[in-house]
Structure 1
Amino acid sequence: MRNSEVNSVVLYNAEDEKSIIDNIFITGVAMNYGMRALDVIESMTYAMNAIRSAVSGGAGTSVMVTLNTDASPTVAGSYTYVSDMLSSLNGNNVASEMNGWAHLTSEYVTKYNPSYIVILDSGTYSSGDYGRMLANLSPEWKNTDAYKNGNIYLLCEDIGELSQRASPRSVQFFEILARILNPDSFPGGIVVPKTIGNDYVSYLTYTKDLGFGD
């Protein structure tokens, strides 16, 4: 692209918090907004450290984070920003033996038997579709502790799209994930529902005002 006189910047693969922050700084400098990028990074880091402190000492729980509700779903394995977030939030990624965003065969859903399942949906469902979604799950999904104990969470609409983008707003997804896995660690009476959509800001405190242009 540079040989063709097209300005271009190579960014890191968003495997963890550090690579997201590095990409923000690189992009900011490339666009002559280096100081603004540093301000954004400082706000993100402060909020994420505060959330980590709030949930510190909590008991670990097994989690599967998926991009769809297929019988054989696409899940977050190791070397993804989602897996990195889980490690900071008392979550044990059941797909950690896989690398990147991996295709999980249906029998492994039952084998891994996650206590929590978080679905990052970018357009299949809306906020009113939770019941329909549950009814359409495969037998393998319905045989997990997450299903039996009512711990399947659907992030759709705005938060579903936001959660799939490694960007400054990932910090808001980080707080939502923290509240799902550690409901007793946050005062203020906010109860995270099983479905979160365009109203996701209503369930934030630490990162509520960090829309970064939203």
Structure 2
Amino acid sequence: MEAVKFKVCVSAAIVVAVCVIAPMIGLSASPIDEKEGVMVDFGYYNVKWVEMELGDGVNGVQALEQACSIAGYAVVKDVYGNVSSIDGEANLVSSSWDMYIVTGPEDNRSWTKVDDPQTFDVGSQKLISWARTSSVDKMMPSVDSTGHTYYSYASNGKNLYGADLRIVTMAPSVTETLVAVGALDLIVATDKYSNYPATLGERYESGRISYVGGYTDPNYELIVSASPDIVFLDGSVGEHISMADKLRKSGINTVVLYEVVEVSDLLKNIWIAASAIGMSEKGNEYNKQLASTIDSICAVTDIQHCKAFISLSTSDSPYVAGDGTYADTILKSIGVTNVFSNISSWGMVDREAIYIKQPDAIIIIYEGEEITSDREYENVLRGLNSMWKDTPAFENKKVFIFSGKSADLLSRPGARLGATAELIAKVLDPDSFTKADYWDRCPKYFGDDYQQYLRYQGAEGVLLT
């Protein structure tokens, strides 16, 4: 989403050194010894990874029983030997416990159901999953967005040699996702736009973290020079997918997270990131708290018949969030109708279209200076086009501005979803929140101090805000 690109200049000596060394990495790197194990997928993004050997002569049910013995789960079978319950979670009418294996070419793997786990020998497999699900699409993916596995790179934040991981992240949302699962101290380089949490700035200044390119122009030589164990990229950016292929050919472990359109995409990314660094339980913990936060917000909110849109600016022809965007999903999750759901992704609309839609509320991701006072807020409103003003949103004082650090919440499809949903719900439905807590009130604009208005983010220290 960042429009500004930059070119990193490095000394000729570094360029020569990297160009000489980089092509050799793919030839000298040791092959990855893929871990073996069982994923127990309870659904609703609650997954247990059990690392264990999948030996010859062991069938799928026996492998599950071994994994559950390690995890401390009870397995219940029916009279035919079929699995009916794991850790007290029984089969449901619409979803039952079944076994899945990874199939397909190396760059396009996916889960495939095993018809008879009792006769299937798991010795030829590296990974199997037992999942209680109604469809493969609802399972935790076995691969990243480019079809490559992600579970063999680390153990509890350590690389295969026992040293702390060296992680590179190449998008702000990706950086935040890794921080969410406990990897802040493992990040050695990022893109130039990653600025959350604030401690990243201190680490840049001290030289502990370096920049290795922009959001849409990752720099191969600089990434390689950071000596990463794993590079995390954003699957919604074409340049990232190309870079992933280049890095893999050079022997560098790479994980490409999925484009976040639905909340489910974000939850999957969180677990994939956590599992890739060998800390899957951190992913489970974060997802559980995030889901609880969203449920708490929705339980308070009572939005009915509200039409709104989210704009990237106050220009006469702004880019707005359409169908298939993270922002659109947030609106829908709290019961709001996005008036521009008829367009795909982020699209430009003219002022006449805004007038025709007659929105009840307008949310602006403000590209100017941080709004810190009522006077500055009113100045922005006065500068709006007359057709913006001739809408119920303007007439009923339902125009809301996210500026400064709060603007990043709406433009980054990352781990701060809970904070984003809470603030949007509060400005669109203030009465429900003040009814629950009289003092829970928000202004019509947010800046760097937005965190003081958050009250539904669960246990302190779990969710990023």
Answer yes or no: same fold by TM over 0.5. Answer: yes
Give 1:5 shift.
2.2
Mapped to 2, the partners of 1:120 and 1:32 lie a distance apart of: 36
8 Å Cα contact 2:311-2:362 kept in structure 1:
yes
8 Å Cα contact 2:327-2:411 kept in structure 1:
no
Residue equivalent to 2:320? 75
SS of 1:19's partner is helix
Residue equivalent to 1:181? 428
Q: Which amino acid aligns with 2:413?
A: A
Residue equivalent to 2:389? 142
Give 1:163 shift.
2.3
Mapped to 2, the partners of 1:7 and 1:122 lie a distance apart of: 36
SS of 2:285's partner is helix
Higher relative contact order (CA 8 A, sep 6+): 1
Give 1:157 shift.
1.4
Residue equivalent to 2:296? 50
Q: Which amino acid aligns with 1:49?
A: D
Q: How does 1:201-212 map to 2 (within 5 A)?
A: 201-207=451-457, 209=460, 212=463
Are 1:95 and 2:340 counterparts?
yes
Identity of aligned residues (%): 27
SS of 1:154's partner is strand
Are 1:13 and 2:259 counterparts?
yes
Mapped to 2, the partners of 1:72 and 1:113 lie a distance apart of: 16
Instruction: Give the number of the structure whose residues are more often helix, by fraction.
Output: 1
8 Å Cα contact 1:63-1:118 kept in structure 2:
yes
Give 1:61 shift.
0.3
8 Å Cα contact 1:63-1:94 kept in structure 2:
yes
TM-score (norm 2): 0.44
1:125 to 1:29, Cα distance in 2 relative to 1, 3 A: same
Unaligned runs of 5+ in 2: 1-245
Deviations 1:162-213 (A, max 9, x none): 2211111121010001111211222212221111112212221111746745
Q: 2:311 is matched with which residue: 61, 66, 73?
A: 66
SS of 1:163's partner is helix
Deviations 1:49-100 (A, max 9, x none): 11112225x3120001111111111111111122112112121100010111
SS of 1:9's partner is strand
Mapped to 2, the partners of 1:211 and 1:147 lie a distance apart of: 37
Deviations 1:124-151 (A, max 9, x none): 4432331221121112211111111111
Mapped to 2, the partners of 1:212 and 1:75 lie a distance apart of: 28
8 Å Cα contact 1:72-1:106 kept in structure 2:
yes
TM-score (norm 1): 0.92
Q: Which amino acid aligns with 1:127?
A: T
1:11 to 1:123, Cα distance in 2 relative to 1, 3 A: farther
- Range with bigger deviation, 22-31 or 40-49: 22-31
SS of 1:10's partner is strand
Residue equivalent to 2:447? 197
Unaligned runs of 5+ in 1: none
Q: Which amino acid aligns with 1:173?
A: T
8 Å Cα contact 2:389-2:395 kept in structure 1:
yes
1:177 to 1:87, Cα distance in 2 relative to 1, 3 A: same
Mapped to 1, the partners of 2:393 and 2:314 lie a distance apart of: 13
Return the index of the structure with the highest Cα Rg: 2
- Range with bigger deviation, 34-43 or 157-166: 157-166
SS of 1:192's partner is coil
Mapped to 1, the partners of 2:320 and 2:348 lie a distance apart of: 6
SS of 2:443's partner is coil
Residue equivalent to 1:165? 412
Deviations 1:4-53 (A, max 9, x none): 22322122111011111111111111222221111111110011011112
1:207 to 1:123, Cα distance in 2 relative to 1, 3 A: farther
Residue equivalent to 2:399? 152
Q: Which amino acid aligns with 2:354?
A: V
